Amino acid sequence: MDTETLSAIAAFATAGWVLAVLLQLVDVITGHQVRRAGRAAGTRDRDRVLSWATAVCAIVLILVILGVDYAARLLLDRAELMWGALLLVALIAVVAITALLAARALRRPQTGYQVIRDELRALAGSRLARGRLADYRTWLSAIDARGNDVRRRVVTGRWVRGIPALIALVAFAAAAWLATVNALQPWQAALYLVAAAASVWLAVWGARISLARNLAIHAVHQKQRAEAILMLEDLDRKTPRKVAGLSERVSRALAILREQQGQNNSPQNPGHREG
């Protein structure tokens, strides 16, 4: 492998590591803030979502700018109209998809335990139909079923936190190879080991904060769920119930009433007058 290729690999790995470390810092800082707020509120962390959306959109914007520059070179310098046009179309699609995902993440409505608890609290003292109570129980079961999604996000987060360290190791391998051919100084290659160590430290720190944050929010969610279940039971006790045998007694009373009305309305036989 020639020196220019190794230099390009090291340069791209360095840029990727810088972006990954920025995301790690966002993860650590926002995770620490949500962990502190989770014990008190337990609401959906809008600030964390906004921070992640801003960081990811900034990275996508940088990549799109580089892609547009490369597409312009294909169109103007190399006169490759087809590949340049396809690249521009692909970049437009990437921008559109990123905007849609960001809007969906920021505008996603709250449908957790807090929302159902607040709605049931507003209905305290009311008498609801059994069908509506069944709808609330179905909603609560749907929220409980999201536990698998949370576990999947936790596992994905663990793997994602290892990406910066892997990028730093790739950059170190390229830098070490360049150092063997005297293209870099040994201390410059050693800096990539420091970068890898920093990435591992941030990954471990972020994982610990994520665990503490998830435990804090889980405790608050379980408290909100227990309150919602108690309110559902209270509303269920106030729901009108059918009395056993009431319909039969009502039918019998109506039948007797109809018989009495029929007897009262029956014509009386007129008496014969004697002459």
Q: Residue 47's pLDDT is what?
A: 61
Mean pLDDT of successive 10-residue segments in the chain (275 residues)?
Answer: 73 79 78 60 57 78 86 83 86 89 71 79 78 83 72 69 80 80 79 83 82 77 86 79 60 73 60 45
Cα pseudo-dihedral 44, 47, 48, 54, rounded to 10: 130
Which residue type occupies 33? Q
pTM for the whole thing?
0.58
Distance CA 68, CA 214 (A): 40
Q: Residue 275's pLDDT is what?
A: 40
Query: Is the Cβ–Cβ distance between 19 and 197 less than 8 Å?
Result: no
Query: Is the Cβ–Cβ distance between 16 and 168 less than 8 Å?
Result: no
pLDDT tens digits for range 129-177: 777 888 888 888 888 777 666 666 666 667 777 778 788 888 888 888 8
Nearest Cα neighbor of 164 from 207, 140, 127, 197 is 197
Residue 41 per-residue DSSP state: T
Q: Residue 245's pLDDT is what?
A: 57
pLDDT tens digits for range 179-201: 787 777 888 778 888 888 888 88
Q: What are phi and psi of 230, to 5 degrees?
A: -65, -40
